A = this chain, B = another copy of it.
Amino acid sequence: MGVVVSLEEGKNKQASVKPLVDLTRADMERVNQLILSKAGSDVQMIPEVANHLISSGGKRLRPMLTLASAAMFGYQGEGHIKLATSVEFLHTATLLHDDVVDESDLRRGKSTARMIWGNQASVLVGDFLLGQAFRMMVEVGSLDALDVLSSASAVIAEGEVLQLSVAKKMETTEDDYLSVIRAKTAALFAAAAEVGPIIANTPRSTRNALKSYGMNLGLAFQLVDDALDYGGKAADLGKNVGDDFREGKITLPIILSWRRGTDEERAFWRKAIENGETSDENLEKALGLITKYGGLTDTIARAEHYGAIARDALAPLPDGAHKEALMEVIDFCISRVN
């Protein structure tokens, strides 16, 4: 498929998340232990459901952002471990609830929790993880960090509702889509990056720089994720090419293709997305239209725009290994195939 090639061509082979992984390795081991311990419960189904998703091999980018952004400013306490764990729990809870709302069967190549334990268990275990996240945040005792993370949690929920309201609506504008991904994805990246400097007691301008870094990194991350759904390889993604298409999910590649298309092509999109006619043949046709109208290349171009803002947000901060690793994550997010 031509679209795969176009993504691969744009890839910066050097950019990697490895420097960030290396820098946060010791702390991440403690986070992983805390995750297992705080997902524990006498109610046996809770750790079963939680660990199913927790152990399914996500990159844990968000807690690493919190750890790195605290270490970057010489934070010496213990709070960053709990906040990073809270961040991952907020994320995991969102995924559990998301899969229920989207009626998803697969996530990261495995059956979703709802397929194994049902919708009710997924909703309730998600709520349990949210509760545990808030308890850990409160234990850290930083009102500012609590404010940032609890606000993010509310914004994420707003984003989910907003996504529902635009679902399967081909007229969705790029601005609507941006509002959704800003709330659903970028807000947690922003909060994850902001709480580090908060507990390290840095000036407000430094917090703002990290927040802006996280927000724009999150936007770039989600844009690329949504491009990959039409251009990646199933094995790399842990999901199939076209999953978003089959779910009728409105993401930027099809927003651009729809808006730039002819009346006839728009009728095709309506049938496919709004009426759910998502056969393999129609997916092929959709991929052809996306290529024709530059839907993937322009989605990546938008990601690069946000990547540039993230880079400038971080630029004036003191140089060092953490800053370098965070900078490289921007390139990694934009260039990743996985």
| Interchain CB contact under 8 A, B259 and A169 | no
A205 to B308, CA, bound (A): 31
A212: CB under 8 A from chain B?
yes
Which of B209, B256, B259, B302 is close to A305, meaning CB atoms less than 8 Å apart? B302
| Interchain CB contact under 8 A, A258 and B316 | yes
Known: A302-B305, A305-B302. A212 touches B313 (CB 8 A): no
| Interchain CB contact under 8 A, A169 and B205 | yes
| Interchain CB contact under 8 A, B266 and A171 | no
Residues of B within 8 A of A255 (CB): 312
A264: CB under 8 A from chain B?
no
What does the 1/0 interface line of A293-318 toward B look like (CB < 8 Å)? 00000100010010011001101100
| Interchain CB contact under 8 A, B259 and A313 | yes
Which of A49-57, A122-130, A173-181 lies at the interface with chain B? Answer: A173-181
A119: CB under 8 A from chain B?
no
| Interchain CB contact under 8 A, A266 and B316 | yes
Which of B174, B176, B208, B258 is close to A173, meaning CB atoms less than 8 Å apart? B208
Which of B174, B256, B312 is close to A259, meaning CB atoms less than 8 Å apart? B312
Known: A302-B305, A305-B302, A305-B305. A173 touches B259 (CB 8 A): no
| Interchain CB contact under 8 A, A309 and B174 | yes
Closest chain B CB from A64 CB (angstroms) = 22
Which of B211, B259, B312 is close to A260, meaning CB atoms less than 8 Å apart? B312
